[in-house]
Chains A and B, each alone.
Chain A
């Protein structure tokens, strides 16, 4: 037992993680990346109007944010958009992934490239393009809720579904085609095969893709900013407009909630993907 422990603690030549300079670099990177977020979260509990000096612990700004109707409305809008965008992007993305995996057709490469374009295209371009598009076609504004969110939702779907498609496509690459033949051989129809074999196989990819689409939609600012009207404000846009007056702990509180949601969902998405990877590894 002692020998085993000794072996484990003595660093091998490729165990960079045990070397001092590596630990230091790693530590500094973490500080660089996460200290702003940490300060944001800490100061959301700061008992001070001005967000500079620590004046003691309070949760009153969470309360205040909760009672801020504009903020809550923006949050509700964000959640609605994210929810609709997730459902439609997941279905659309899964269908695109299936199409690209299953069929061969002319200009498939071009189609695949065009489909993934929203991932690489700068968001500001997407935003401007969306704004130009909606004003050109005369997209109706000022409709009743939730139809007033349709422009933003459509814009979100257009950049979210490629992420779903890429994730599901990667999962499908590992599909054993004999599973399909076996299902058909055992008497399954096309639809039964799809429901019983294909969807369960795609499920980890679908869930990971859906969660990614949800977080992307929830915290998108640039594209939303260009497509939102005066009466359709989302949480990131609302926070931005609040910051222009003054940075109060109320904004910190709202941002912290957004971070928490994003963090939880991303963790679930990563966990599901790694679990699916492990299963394939067996």
Chain B
């Protein structure tokens, strides 16, 4: 990645509504041309952060620089930023063309330039034939494209998207995810998207900031977020995770970790975490294996009894019990039609590579 230029710089920004802290002292930089996702559960402050970028909320503390300029006191209509709203906010009394052209009209762009810009933007979102439609003749997906075109036509430095896909059905949502990424590659504008859907963030974004209770927990590329979550919240929030309490038994180059419910593991010294602070280990369900016989010693393995099976089509979630009442979830991909699936009550061996385990504080 050769993103050279910083386009958004957020430093120590907080936002309080009365006594409620919505955004708590966050700093963040976003590079030009990046597809950046703000991901978190609902009410975590991600939308407030986005609205502060747009100028629709004023930070209580801290500074926001956009393209090197301090945005303090700059109203939304003077920021080089445009937004796609969650409700799309398509003007109901204007045609598609008038909607998309509105942002150019109010700034006094002459008619021929306006027409050219609007038609180019409509083509970009594949609505070229819809220019004379009224919004109530459009589907939800089409309204969203109008909202996108309306923002893109302004050629903003940054495009903000507030939960843009949440109102679409699953099939359309997946198609739009790909389309948004393609669109972003074509126009080269920095996209900042707010979402509570981790699939959306993982599949689309170049980098993700995971936010919880107003604080950024981790900023990293999707793969890092998934495979190397920084803490227990991120590990638990992104994907599925089996987390077990654990404590460090021995210090040194290689440390031994004891998880009372599972067993003990010898792992190499982690780079970014103090051994003393480790209090949990975790393993993703899809990184476990279920076998009838005991696997060889290169893997950690333990005997288990199957307590529940949930068939999901492309995969099967199998819940097993290890030791005294400790439950573990395993995901088995259904790679073949003739695949043999175990039954509830069967005993088997569950195993995984010790390196796939996460050490959490």
B106 and A187 form a contact (CB under 8 A): yes
Given contact pairs A186-B106, A187-B106, A192-B106, A178 touches B93 in the complex (Cβ within 8 A): no
Task: State A33–B91 Cα separation when bound (angstroms).
Answer: 43
Task: Report if B38 contacts A (CB, 8 A).
Answer: no
A181 and B89 form a contact (CB under 8 A): yes
B89 and A182 form a contact (CB under 8 A): yes
Task: Report if A201 contacts B (CB, 8 A).
Answer: yes
Task: Report if A27 contacts B (CB, 8 A).
Answer: no
B93 and A201 form a contact (CB under 8 A): yes
Task: Report if B54 contacts A (CB, 8 A).
Answer: yes
Partner of B87, one of A178, A186, A187, A197: A178
Given contact pairs A185-B76, A189-B77, A279-B136, A178 touches B106 in the complex (Cβ within 8 A): no
Contacts of B81 in A (CB 8 A): 185
Contacts of A279 in B (CB 8 A): 92, 136
Contacts of A186 in B (CB 8 A): 77, 82, 102-103, 106, 150-151, 154
Contacts of A178 in B (CB 8 A): 85-87, 89
B-contact 0/1 string along A183-205, CB 8 Å cutoff: 11111110010001100110000
A183 and B102 form a contact (CB under 8 A): yes
Task: State A124–B86 Cα separation when bound (angstroms).
Answer: 52
A184 and B75 form a contact (CB under 8 A): yes
Q: Which of B87, B89, B107, B147 has the most CB of A within 10 A?
A: B89
Task: Report if A136 contacts B (CB, 8 A).
Answer: no
Task: Report if A10 contacts B (CB, 8 A).
Answer: no
Q: Which residue on B lies nearest to A178, using beta carbons?
A: B89
Given contact pairs A179-B91, A279-B92, A279-B136, A185 touches B82 in the complex (Cβ within 8 A): yes
B87 and A176 form a contact (CB under 8 A): yes
Task: State A196–B87 Cα separation when bound (angstroms).
Answer: 19
Task: Report if B83 contacts A (CB, 8 A).
Answer: yes
Task: Report if A282 contacts B (CB, 8 A).
Answer: yes
Q: Which residue on B lies nearest to A186, using beta carbons?
A: B103
B89 and A189 form a contact (CB under 8 A): no
B136 and A185 form a contact (CB under 8 A): no
Task: State A189–B83 Cα separation when bound (angstroms).
Answer: 16
Q: Which of A178, A188, A197, A282 has the most CB of B within 10 A?
A: A178
Task: State A81–B339 Cα separation when bound (angstroms).
Answer: 87
Task: State A282–B103 Cα separation when bound (angstroms).
Answer: 25
A-contact 0/1 string along B73-110, CB 8 Å cutoff: 00111100111011101011100000000110011000
Task: State A201–B90 Cα separation when bound (angstroms).
Answer: 13
Contacts of B147 in A (CB 8 A): 182
B103 and A181 form a contact (CB under 8 A): no
Task: State A196–B103 Cα separation when bound (angstroms).
Answer: 11
Task: State A56–B151 Cα separation when bound (angstroms).
Answer: 71
Contacts of A196 in B (CB 8 A): 91, 102, 106
Task: State A188–B154 Cα separation when bound (angstroms).
Answer: 12
Nearest Cβ distance between residue B47 and chain A, in whole angstroms? Answer: 12
Which residues of B in the span 247-282 have a Cβ within 8 Å of any Cβ on A?
none
Given contact pairs A178-B87, A184-B76, A189 touches B106 in the complex (Cβ within 8 A): yes
A188 and B93 form a contact (CB under 8 A): no
Which residues of B in the span 41-68 have a Cβ within 8 Å of any Cβ on A?
54-56
Q: Which residue on A lies nearest to B136, using beta carbons?
A: A282
Given contact pairs A178-B86, A179-B89, A188 touches B56 in the complex (Cβ within 8 A): no
Contacts of A189 in B (CB 8 A): 77, 106
Q: List 9 A-B contacts (CB under 8 A).
A: A176-B89, A178-B87, A182-B83, A184-B77, A185-B81, A185-B83, A185-B151, A189-B77, A279-B92
Given contacts A181-B56, A186-B82, A187-B107, 12 further A-B contacts (CB under 8 A): A176-B87, A182-B89, A184-B56, A185-B56, A185-B83, A186-B77, A186-B151, A187-B78, A187-B106, A188-B106, A192-B106, A196-B91
